[in-house]
Structure 1
Amino acid sequence: MSLRLSTVILPVDRWHEGGCEKWQRAEDLGFHAAYTYDHLSWRTFRDGPWFGAIPTLTAAAAVTQRMRMGTLVTSPNFRHPVTLAKDLVTLDDVSDGRITLGIGAGGNGFDATTLRGSDEEPWTPRERADHFDEFVPLLDRLLREPSVTQEGRFYAAHEARNIPGCVQRPRLPFAVAATGPRGLRLAARYGQAWVTTGDPKLYETGTPEQSVAAVRGQISRLGAACEETGRDVSELDKILLTGFTPGRPLRSFDAFVNFAGTHFDLGLTEIVVHWPVPDSDFAMETELFERIATEALAQFG
């Protein structure tokens, strides 16, 4: 087993003012994949530029050749399975089969209220999980079958057609972000990969050692969920999105190598680092970032 390194490029640059060059540079640096967030806006970037994920990925697919790409992650907060499936089939075609769909239940940020009336409350965690439980199986069907009719509690499809289907067969891969029991069961049943950011409760006050223990526990619970479904947990790639765990693994080259080695030993197969964004939580010297991209994982196969 080898450890892969990927990046997530926030959609904050106009395409012809730096956006295009980032995606091309990511491929030149040898990243396994480049992802982007699928939000309507996000955290401290809310009042600045923020572009759509699917058009951005389509443009990136047209100017790259080898690198995989995808969302990290898409959620039901503002997506419907029928329209999302049509976009994904198109994107998989444009990229010639290089798309991975990172997908999660979503959170209570800006996306959770943008499409709702001013008197409506965001979904509770249980309601988000309920929607996710229905969203993922329907999306799976829509990407596998040429025509789908299904009436659910939250989502309906009536003769929804996706012809000719995905370039990747039987469909493009799902990377399911999950830490709770229901999400882990969805990852075990439908995922080709599993995504974690660690334990968010530890980010502010926890220690790196506590974070490692939390991820170890998550992987153990993923294994139990896979066993329940009759699946070998080794079939799933295990992806860690950095930037939300205690400590500062990107403060130096050696710090990142140690961080990567620790998580490789846990069974992680892919680590994702944020492309530097000046004057943000993701600010970083370009020279250090590019050295990590090209040299850090050499000893991990």
Structure 2
Amino acid sequence: MSLRLSTVILPVDRWHQGGRAKWQRAEELGFHAAYTYDHLSWRSFRDGPWFGALPTLTAAATATERLRLGTLVTSPNFRHPVTLAKELISLDDVSGGRVTLGIGAGGNGFDATALGQEAWTPKERADRFAEFVALLDRLLTEGAVTQEGAFYSAVEARNVPGCAQSPRLPFAVAATGPRGLRLAARYGQAWVTTGDPKLYETGTPAQSDAALRAQAAKLDAACEETGRKPAELDRILLTGFTPDRSSMLDSVDAFVDFAGRQREAGFTEIVLHWPIPDSDFAADQAVFERIATEGLSQLG
């Protein structure tokens, strides 16, 4: 099974002071795609620079030619399907059809309360996510949509001419629970996971690999339940949240070992965080670039 290598570039740099250069370098290094987080701020970066995902991706679209672009991930925390659809159609047009929408249910971080609302319960997040994805799918495939939902509505929302990609830009659905996996099976062109968060601090690489395989098996079951062939979905692993998150970038050999295990588990795309000094994503830039250019060729 072939494996693609991508990167995620956090929006922490001013565009003319290093931001543009990172996206262009990602294309030069041959990454399949470059993604960014769609947050209002995030964790340890909350008190520093943090730019908007969709304007950043639009700028990246004009600065690159081949690189696929996307979010990892957008969520309903501060988005509405009607306005998001319009922006995505515009971004897909500017990029010439190079956009993938990573989308997830969101969590309890700063985004969850930034608009003044109380943080949603896990059930409400799941309910909203299901309605959000279904409506967004319609908005991106139909010229005009009217739909009244429990959480999100559209009244004669027009999205002409639609996406540059047909029938719409692909969804990469982040999910680990049964409801989210069913959404991935029904609407996704790809599935995204970061692994098992319970293993982040004290788990072992072997335990993490087993958890990833178990998640993939649940996705297979969700596909069968919805009448979808499991092989139709790409499987994306966003790294940086597993027990071997640091050691896998120590050397090309360490990455090859990690990537080989994930390929055996059925993953089709591995996403590495672009190094950020003095952060959880610190890594040797030279080693990172060697991994980008040599890592997959050494898998054999």
Shorter-chain TM range is over 0.9
Instruction: Specify the code of the residue in structure 2 equivalent to 1:277.
Output: I
Query: Hey, what does 2:51 align to over in structure 1?
Result: 51
Alignment partner of 1:154: what SS?
coil
Query: Which residue of the partner structure matches residue 42 of structure 2?
Result: 42
Is 1:294 the counterpart of 2:293? The answer is yes
1:154 is matched with 151
Equivalence for 2:134: 137
Residue of structure 2 aligned with 1:187, choices 184, 189, 193: 184
Query: Number of matched residues?
Result: 298
Structure 1: segments with no counterpart, 5+ residues? none
What secondary structure sits across from 2:220 in the alignment?
helix
Deviation of the 1:251 alpha carbon? 2.0
After TM superposition, what 4+ stretches of structure 1 lie above 2 angstroms from structure 2?
none
TM-score between the two structures when normalised by the length of structure 1:
0.98
Specify the SS of the correspondent of 2:169: coil
Identity of aligned residues (%): 78
Q: Would the aligned equivalents of 1:2 and 1:300 in 2 still touch at CA under 8 Å?
A: no
Question: 1-side partners of 2:298 and 2:289: how far apart?
Answer: 17
Letter in 2 for 1:259: F
Deviation readout 1:64-109 (Å, 9 max, x if unpaired): 0001010000000000000000000000000000000000000100
How far residue 286 of structure 1 moved from its aligned partner, in angstroms, is 1.1
Structure 1 residue 300 displacement after superposition: 4.1
Q: Which amino acid aligns with 1:297?
A: L
SS of match in other structure, 2:208: helix
Does structure 1 retain, via aligned residues, the 8 Å contact 2:39–2:74?
yes
SS of 2:258's equivalent in the other structure is helix
- Choose from 145, 158, 161 the match for 1:164: 161
Q: Would you say the 8 A contact 1:3–1:300 is kept in 2?
A: no
Counterparts of 1:274-289 in structure 2, within 5 Å, are 274-289=273-288
The aligned amino acid for 1:222 is L
* 2:252–2:294 CA contact under 8 A, matched in 1: no
- The one-letter amino acid of 1:71's match is T
Give the whole-Å Cα distance in 2 for the aligned partners of 1:250 and 1:29.
16
Partner of 1:107: 107
Counterpart Cα distance in 2 of 1:126 and 1:197: 21
User: Could you list the runs of 5+ residues in structure 2 that have no partner in the other structure?
Assistant: none
When structure 1 is superposed on structure 2, of 242-251 and 166-175 the one drifting more is 242-251
Offset of 1:257 from its aligned partner? 0.7
User: How far does residue 208 in structure 1 lie from its aligned partner after superposition?
Assistant: 0.6
RMSD: 0.8
Q: Tell me which residue corresponds to 1:176.
A: 173
